[in-house]
Structure 1
Amino acid sequence: MLESVIEALIKNKKGRLEEVVQAFNDGEFANSDTHKYLAEALVGSQYNELANYIEEVVIPKIGKPMLPYLCDTFTFADTYDNRRRLRLLRKLKYNDIEDLANRVLSQNLPSLQVEAVAILADTKTLDNEKKLIALSTDNNRLVRGAAYKGLAAIATPQALEALLSTYKGKLTRTNTQMLVEALSKVALPTYYLKFLEVLEQHFELLLAMDKSNESSVKAAYNLFEIELHILQHKDQKEVYDFLEKLLYNDEYHAIAEKYDTVPYHLMPTVVEILRSFSFNKRIAFYEKHLAVLPKTQWVRILATDYFYEAITIYSKEKLYDIFAPYFDLLSQNIIETFSGYQYNAGYYTPLKFEVKESFTDPRWATILLQFLQNSPKTEDYEFKALVVLDVLLPDSESLNQLILQLLPQASLNDTSWLYQLIMKRNIPQRFEIIYESLASMKQPSHYDYMNVMQAKTFWQCFPKEYALKFEKLYALKHVAYFKEISQLLN
């Protein structure tokens, strides 16, 4: 077994990753004879699955016994396998890691220097702070980006002043992205206002631009949308005030509508910012603004996030009161949530539902009925409203009629669970209705065959005389599951 594991580590052959995973699960890497080969197997690009698995799972589990082998295989060559080894030496707390980082920084090794910068940021000393500030102006963009992250991580006054000075300067799109990525990860409770002030200045400059210079306005708008991410984790009153200003500024929305590539404008960014804040404050922000903001397409993503948060804390009555006015925007989210629709990864797996009665106020019935009567019925989710209505209106004859009216319009994907709904509600002539529906179908695909035949107990409820009817239908249409249904009934 040990020879097979070592072979999987050193030979390029099919199925290596699977063998290594199995060996890890079996505890094979507790044997120190494998450690040398594990360190050598850290080769390949950042997309190499085997090397990534060894770095992220196997070696951290082994721990410090791997240190000698990582040191032996590490070289000052600017390759990704050496980046992996340097990261692991840091993670396993190698005693001389800072000296090793300084040696890397003294050479022209930009890829390795990215990891070395992160090592310097682990220890908040004046010397390391000076090095990180110097590296934040490095010619190599990867090194600069790593230095930004390092300065944000140590968050000393001098480090933050260096980042602020960079932010106030003239930045390229790439530099802005790297700076924002670094600053978006930290709260900066005593320093956030200075960055917010610059962001607000950039916002005012955007609004004041000559709108006839479209290329410049578009570039400034796109850069500003990147900058907004600086606000992540800055869970402070002034930040909420600024977000509020964005939501209600018509001039800004006019710019966004013209130059953004999606109809939601800045909303995905706002939602991402809000998700980094405390749950209670986020809910309070939504409660304050969603009631008064116009129910337009750009508000949809805010309302969607609010809805998924609200179902965890609100009563079904409150959910209805708040979100019924948003139904036109959120119909798919509301219907699929209330229906308990479960996505199945298997392509031939039938749909499953578990209606969430704890979410579903009876008043939704009127809205869902109107929706089904007026919707174009071009989307599968529209028919899932019937599952919710089945629970809300268990004895409704009008709902029975609506189900029968909609059955011919349903996709083949939906017919199998609509058949089950017809049976569950004991709709008169249900067996003949289902039979005629199947008989009228065009040539079904293999998916439809599996979707129908996985519910064998369903077909066994049919009267015996349908065995002959399905046999004749098979002879006419040559659809395999018609024959199988006939056999089930004999």
Structure 2
Amino acid sequence: MKLQPLYDLQQEINRLFIAGSKFAKGDPRLQKHIPILQKLGEKASVFGKLAKDIEELLNTDAQQSSEKLMTISTLLYSILYTQGELVETDVEETPQTPNIPLDEVNTEYSYLQLKPVMQALTTSNSGRLEILKDALERNIFNDSRTYQYLDIALGDKYAELCDYVEKTIIPKVGKPIVPFLIQNFKYEDKTENARRLRLLNKFNYAQLPEMVDKILSESLPVLQAEAIHILSGDSKNEELIIKLADDKNKLVREAAYMGLVELGTRASLEKLKDVYINNKNKTNLPAIVTALASSKLPFFFQEIFNQVVKAFEEFVALDKDALDKYYIDKLERFSHNIEILENKNSPEVIDFYSRVLRSREYNELISTKKNQLEYIASNITSNITKGLKAFPNVQVIKFYETNMNDIPETNWKRSLWGYYFYDAIEAGYSKEKMFDIFSPQFRRNTIGINHLYTVYTDDENYYYSNINEHNIKVDTDKIDKRWLEILYSLFTVDKYKWRHEHDRALRLISACEPESEKLDKLLVKLVGFTMPGDQVSIFRIIMERKVKDRFDIIYSAMAKYAPKTYYYVLNSLKNIGIWNQFPKEYAAKYRELYKKNPLQIYEDIADEIESSHNNL
């Protein structure tokens, strides 16, 4: 498309950048471009928008003219960059890329709206991911001027941001971004190029097969690993991927292992089975195991299962006088091998899990070398619990009921009780049965407050959330009230030390006993000997329960704080309905407290108290 009028307009825009945008108002040299653009706008709406923007610039005051001029410049550049055709003579013409069809050009947002997003995609400032998430919610990335910046961000040094752009933003942008991915893709072994290759595959780019062929013909292991994933989607590539499973490069081999699973043919899985059985290199084992674990193994399961059993038997057959390095080597090999049984719900698998955990020889050998082997044994237990997820809940419950009392009490057994606890809830155990089975384990510290809190509240992300910042619902109907005695016992030791689990225990007690003088007295006592940073959750429960003298209890505790401390802790109690319950006279008390301890939070508390009374 020959767009000489747009090049002429670009000269005028550049002139105003030099002279100053304030001279744009009423500029006749700009005015003459409007009719031409309006005519072009009959064929493509983007030109009509350009004409409208120029009309607005001609009527804009000097204060706002710079923003308008920048908006027009950005839009004009976008059109020329993607659609312009060279008209100068004696100059070699090269195709302009990327090339977006005019009907796909979208420029609905102003430069001021785009600027922080473009900066977030190209700079290294903090808070960039939050800016991008907000921009996605506001549909900013519908604007085609963001595409080149999204592509640039695929090479950002922060992997989390790259992942978000690749996996969340660009898939929503869709195929219009493909020209930008093509423009910046290079046959260089960099992660950003692998990301572009993945996206081109996602968007079914027509020339992708030629790109894959070129990648495989060169020494580019990072890109080759991604190319193998692409090839594994078609069974006609079976022979090639089988061959690549023996490649000299570790990255390529590991990608080929997964490619064999993705193919899922008898020949591909036979190759993976042979690689596993014949492997002599310990460093290769984790990647082979990961691939086998991800497959249901419709072929050759028994041969592979026998190898896992063999790894276990080799460990338990060790002489007790063997060197530590042999113990470690054999148990590590078994730890890797047992991972293969994930996603396999064969009866022999769950029977084998029982055999391992109940084995006297296995547990005794680990106990003799506890310092060296306990961590590995705990990983094996963890792998078993992952493997159990492949079975229906009824089978898992039967597994626990049959085995738990016969498995030796060891540190590597402890985690099993927690998983049993969660699965028992899912299986519908009555609250009485839950208490009868698990309260002894609570007393032995094999399960804890967090297990109770997880299943009896709606706070699914309690590890990452601040309990003081939101309301938690407790399902008191499911809690056997006998748990309360155990929870109260946590606070009766002579030398009491607050732990983060204790605020959760108090919440459970408070929900189960909305009117309890015993709990009210405990809360007041806890304020007296907990650290200020731990008192916040207690303050909140005191206010929720309307404990007698609650206002003075909280104020008196805060008045004892060391100067200029605990601002951020107290700040979590602002604007959540606590201070607006205080009598008006406490506003003056907190202002006096501010004079002695000049923390802004005390003034904020006073303001919140006064505001609540002024609004009555």
Shift of 1:200: 0.6
One-letter identity of the residue aligned with 1:449: L
Counterpart CA distance in 1 for 2:203 and 2:220 is 22
Shift of 1:28: 6.3
Say which of 511, 527, 535 aligns to 1:415. Answer: 535
Listed one character per residue, the Cα deviations across residues 73-112 of structure 1 (whole Å, up to 9, x for unaligned) are 5454433343233322322234554454344323332222
* Deviates further, 339-348 or 450-459: 339-348
One-letter identity of the residue aligned with 1:446: Y
State the match for 2:385 in structure 1: 271
State the match for 2:202 in structure 1: 91
Counterpart CA distance in 2 for 1:400 and 1:458 is 20
State the match for 1:385 in structure 2: 505
Shift of 1:150: 1.1
State the match for 1:242 in structure 2: 352
Name the SS for the 1:329 alignment partner. coil
One-letter identity of the residue aligned with 2:474: V
Shift of 1:400: 3.6
One-letter identity of the residue aligned with 2:480: D
State the match for 1:320 in structure 2: 435
Shift of 1:240: 0.7
1:124 paired with 2:235, answer yes
Task: Give the structure, 1 or 2, with the largest relative contact order (CA under 8 Å, sep 6 or more).
Answer: 1
State the match for 1:446 in structure 2: 567
* Deviates further, 261-270 or 382-391: 261-270
Shift of 1:247: 1.2
Shift of 1:147: 0.9
Quickly say closer, same or farther: Cα 1:470–1:150, change in 2 above 3 A.
closer
Q: Are 2:449 and 2:504, in contact at CA under 8 Å, matched by a contact in 1?
A: no
One-letter identity of the residue aligned with 1:222: E
1:366 paired with 2:479, answer no
State the match for 2:215 in structure 1: 104
TM-score (norm. length: structure 1): 0.82
Listed one character per residue, the Cα deviations across residues 448-485 of structure 1 (whole Å, up to 9, x for unaligned) are 43245546644644585x67766766666666666766
Quickly say closer, same or farther: Cα 1:136–1:453, change in 2 above 3 A.
closer
> What stretches of structure 1 of length at least 5 have no aligned partner?
none
Listed one character per residue, the Cα deviations across residues 397-431 of structure 1 (whole Å, up to 9, x for unaligned) are 44444333333233323423323444555555555
Name the SS for the 1:266 alignment partner. helix
What's the C-alpha RMSD, in Å, of the aligned pairs?
A: 4.0
Quickly say closer, same or farther: Cα 1:45–1:133, change in 2 above 3 A.
farther
Say which of 232, 253, 259 aligns to 2:372. Answer: 259
Q: Are 2:311 and 2:337, in contact at CA under 8 Å, matched by a contact in 1?
A: no
Quickly say closer, same or farther: Cα 1:295–1:367, change in 2 above 3 A.
farther
One-letter identity of the residue aligned with 1:227: N
Counterpart CA distance in 2 for 1:326 and 1:80 is 48
Listed one character per residue, the Cα deviations across residues 187-227 of structure 1 (whole Å, up to 9, x for unaligned) are 11443222111011111112223442111221222232122
Shift of 1:445: 1.5
Counterpart CA distance in 2 for 1:472 and 1:31 is 54
1:175-324 alignment runs, 5 A limit: 175-211=284-320, 212-256=322-366, 257-260=370-373, 262=375, 264-290=378-404, 292-294=406-408, 296-314=410-428, 315-324=430-439
Q: Are 1:419 and 1:434, in contact at CA under 8 Å, matched by a contact in 2?
A: yes
Quickly say closer, same or farther: Cα 1:61–1:243, change in 2 above 3 A.
same
Shift of 1:178: 0.9
Q: Are 1:46 and 1:80, in contact at CA under 8 Å, matched by a contact in 2?
A: no
One-letter identity of the residue aligned with 1:336: Y
* Deviates further, 318-327 or 279-288: 279-288
Say which of 304, 308, 330 aligns to 2:447. Answer: 330
Quickly say closer, same or farther: Cα 1:170–1:352, change in 2 above 3 A.
same
Shift of 1:379: 1.0
Shift of 1:164: 1.7
Quickly say closer, same or farther: Cα 1:129–1:293, change in 2 above 3 A.
same
Counterpart CA distance in 1 for 2:331 and 2:536 is 49
Structure with greater Cα Rg: 2
Listed one character per residue, the Cα deviations across residues 374-416 of structure 1 (whole Å, up to 9, x for unaligned) are 4843313124323322333344444444333333233323423
Counterpart CA distance in 1 for 2:251 and 2:228 is 10
Shift of 1:274: 2.5
Q: Are 1:17 and 1:50, in contact at CA under 8 Å, matched by a contact in 2?
A: yes
Q: Are 1:335 and 1:381, in contact at CA under 8 Å, matched by a contact in 2?
A: no
Quickly say closer, same or farther: Cα 1:245–1:10, change in 2 above 3 A.
closer
* Deviates further, 77-86 or 235-244: 77-86
Name the SS for the 2:378 alignment partner. coil
Q: Quick one: percent identity of the two aligned structures?
A: 30
Say which of 124, 149, 171 aligns to 1:60. Answer: 171
* Deviates further, 268-277 or 69-78: 69-78
Counterpart CA distance in 2 for 1:239 and 1:60 is 40
Quickly say closer, same or farther: Cα 1:441–1:187, change in 2 above 3 A.
same
Q: Are 1:136 and 1:147, in contact at CA under 8 Å, matched by a contact in 2?
A: yes
> What stretches of structure 2 of length at least 5 have no aligned partner?
1-70, 79-110
One-letter identity of the residue aligned with 1:225: S
Name the SS for the 1:311 alignment partner. helix
Counterpart CA distance in 2 for 1:64 and 1:440 is 63
* Deviates further, 76-85 or 333-342: 333-342
Counterpart CA distance in 2 for 1:275 and 1:207 is 26
Quickly say closer, same or farther: Cα 1:11–1:371, change in 2 above 3 A.
closer
* Deviates further, 402-411 or 359-368: 402-411
Q: Are 2:441 and 2:447, in contact at CA under 8 Å, matched by a contact in 1?
A: yes
Listed one character per residue, the Cα deviations across residues 19-69 of structure 1 (whole Å, up to 9, x for unaligned) are 87677666566677876x479637637855665444334443344555566
TM-score (norm. length: structure 2): 0.67
Counterpart CA distance in 2 for 1:429 and 1:77 is 71
Quickly say closer, same or farther: Cα 1:371–1:432, change in 2 above 3 A.
same
Name the SS for the 1:384 alignment partner. helix
Counterpart CA distance in 2 for 1:476 and 1:54 is 50
State the match for 2:276 in structure 1: 167
Name the SS for the 1:188 alignment partner. coil
Counterpart CA distance in 1 for 2:478 and 2:571 is 32
* Deviates further, 258-267 or 108-117: 258-267
Quickly say closer, same or farther: Cα 1:50–1:333, change in 2 above 3 A.
closer
Instruction: Tell me how many residue pairs correspond in the alignment.
Output: 486
Listed one character per residue, the Cα deviations across residues 146-191 of structure 1 (whole Å, up to 9, x for unaligned) are 1111112222222222222221224323211110111111111443
Quickly say closer, same or farther: Cα 1:411–1:83, change in 2 above 3 A.
same
Q: Are 1:129 and 1:159, in contact at CA under 8 Å, matched by a contact in 2?
A: yes
